[in-house]
Amino acid sequence: MKVIASSIRKGNVIEQDGKLYVVVTAENIHPGKGTPVSQIEMRRISDGVKISERYKTTDQVEKVTIEERNYTYLYEDPDGFHFMNPETYDQVLVPKDVVGSQAAYLQENMTVKLSMHDVVPVSIALPQRVTLEVVDTEPVTKGQTASSSYKPAVLSNGVRTGVPPHITVGTRIVVMTEDGSYCERAKD
């Protein structure tokens, strides 16, 4: 369906020159003088190539409808990541470039939302928070608790983040998947 360029948002799928693209960033720019434009950065679904396009805000763009479903993460192999539909037990292979940097937060049997166009995975949405274990961090120095500073820590998935001084090695913490920031100590 055709929509105006200014209504395109991050995560939308658009068709251009017969190819499908996922919108990575979309920004409407209104210069002091001249015509307003929409700056859209997108990733081609077929091969992962990123391109940047500039449209007049009134230009028509072909927006593709996508279907969003819950899938369960199974495992990773050299071809990509394998997910299963819990209702039909159908398995789907998602290429590594679709998952991107979110791969570090995938855990076995985790439920994620996969956006599909026909049978092609377009994008993935992880839960907002995951629980991980701290495998390396600096020991607490006495008298350091007065300030609210964070110390560096390495998590069980290899990601580095900042944690409060009272967190030690072996502590399970909740981390935001969007940016890898510390949220709270795990309650389990």
- Contact, 57 vs 80, CB < 8 A? no
Quote the CA–CA distance of 154 and 170 in Å, as a whole number.
11
Quote the CA–CA distance of 63 and 7 in Å, as a whole number.
10
- Contact, 49 vs 76, CB < 8 A? no
Domains defined for the chain, CATH in brackets: 2-64 (2.30.30.30), 67-125 (2.40.50.140), 129-185 (2.40.50.140)
- Give residue 116's pLDDT: 86
Per-residue pLDDT of the chain (188 residues; tens, 9 = 90+): 889 988 998 888 899 888 888 888 999 999 888 889 999 999 888 777 899 999 998 899 999 888 889 999 999 999 899 999 999 999 999 988 888 888 899 999 999 999 888 888 888 889 999 999 999 988 876 665 556 688 899 999 888 999 988 888 999 999 998 888 999 998 87
Please return the burial class of 61, using the count of CB atoms within 10 Å of its CB with bins 0-12, 13-18 and 19+: buried
Nearest CA to 57 out of 82, 29, 25 is that of 29
- Give residue 24's pLDDT: 87
Tell me the one-letter amino acid at 122. Answer: V
Beta-carbon contacts of 185 under 8 Å, excluding residues fewer than 6 positions away, are: 167, 171, 172, 173, 174
- Give residue 110's pLDDT: 93
Nearest CA to 72 out of 8, 124, 128 is that of 124
| pTM for the full predicted model | 0.72
Please return the burial class of 100, using the count of CB atoms within 10 Å of its CB with bins 0-12, 13-18 and 19+: middle
The C-alpha torsion from 116 through 158 and 75 to 124, rounded to 10°, is -10
